[in-house]
């Protein structure tokens, strides 16, 4: 096994701040905080940094979580989307930003966006740190996108291989030797 740095820690930090500014600009200030909906487990690092970057812009946010999977410990998506943990609070009439680590095949985010849309949020957007356009099977639009990457298996900054490497401060290509 070897790791090849694809996106540095500094580049991730810079782009996360820029994405917070994009979110802030896209959602009018209201009496309710922006709801950042983190998709567990991969989005946790990105979500944390994004929420702090929004605070630096004087935007309050509320954190909510779902756990959704189509990977099941493998290096390729199974195609079967499972909801492992649903929301704890209502999103009705809220400005919701789905925060995801990676937009890969599109199956998970497409399914999730349809599921959440029927819960009548005021607005529903996707912010993903990474996107692999070459891997897309289902077309889904992310309103905010950090980086487009090649169709390679990546780890770090929340992304894992069999629950390992999430704590790397950068994004790396995982090579199985």
Supply the pLDDT for residue 74.
54
**Half-sphere exposure for 137 (CA within 13 Å, toward CB):** 12
pLDDT higher for 115 or 82? 115
The residue whose two tokens read 């998506």 is 77
The CATH architecture of the domain made up of 10-151 is 3-Layer(aba) Sandwich (3.40)
Catalytic residues: 104
CA-CA distance, 64 to 86, in Å (whole number)? 10
Mean pLDDT of the chain: 93
pLDDT beyond 80 at 140: yes
CA-CA distance, 140 to 126, in Å (whole number)? 9
CA-atom Rg of the chain in angstroms:
15
CA-CA distance, 73 to 130, in Å (whole number)? 19
Supply the pLDDT for residue 127.
98
pLDDT beyond 90 at 80: no
pLDDT beyond 60 at 84: yes
Burial of 113: CB neighbours in 10 Å, binned 0-12, 13-18, 19+: middle
Question: Taking the C-alpha atoms of 29, 113, 78 and 44 in order, what is their torsion angle to the nearest 10 degrees?
Answer: 20
Instruction: For residues 85-97, give the mean pLDDT.
Output: 95
Supply the pLDDT for residue 78.
55
Instruction: For residues 78-95, give the mean pLDDT.
Output: 87
Q: Are strands 82-85 and 61-69 parallel, antiparallel or unpaired?
A: antiparallel
pLDDT in tens, 42-77: 999 999 999 999 999 999 999 999 998 765 555 555
The residue whose two tokens read 């950068």 is 170
pLDDT band at 176; cut points 50, 70, 90: confident
Alpha-carbon separation of residue 18 from 14, 61, 127, 150 (angstroms): 7, 16, 12, 22
Q: What are phi and psi of 119, to 5 degrees?
A: -90, 10
Per the CB < 8 A criterion, the answer to whether 92 and 64 are in contact is no
Any idea where the domains of the chain sit in the sequence? Answer: 10-151
């Amino acid at each position: 096994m070897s790791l090849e740095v694809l996106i540095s820690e500094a580049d991730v930090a810079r782009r996360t701040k820029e994405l917070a500014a994009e979110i802030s600009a896209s959602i009018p200030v209201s009496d309710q905080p922006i709801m950042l909906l983190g998709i567990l487990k991969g989005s946790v690092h990105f979500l944390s940094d994004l929420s702090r970057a929004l605070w630096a812009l004087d935007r309050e946010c509320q954190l909510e979580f779902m756990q959704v999977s189509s990977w099941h410990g493998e290096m390729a998506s199974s195609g079967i989307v499972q909801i492992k943990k649903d929301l704890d609070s209502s999103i009705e009439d809220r400005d919701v930003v789905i925060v995801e680590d990676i937009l890969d095949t599109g199956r998970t985010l497409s399914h999730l966006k349809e599921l959440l849309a029927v819960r009548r949020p005021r607005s529903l957007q996707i912010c993903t740190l990474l996107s692999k356009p070459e891997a897309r099977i289902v077309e889904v639009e992310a309103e905010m996108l950090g980086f487009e990457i090649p169709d390679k298996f990546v780890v770090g900054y929340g992304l894992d291989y069999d629950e390992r490497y999430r704590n790397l401060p950068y994004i790396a290509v995982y090579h199985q030797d």
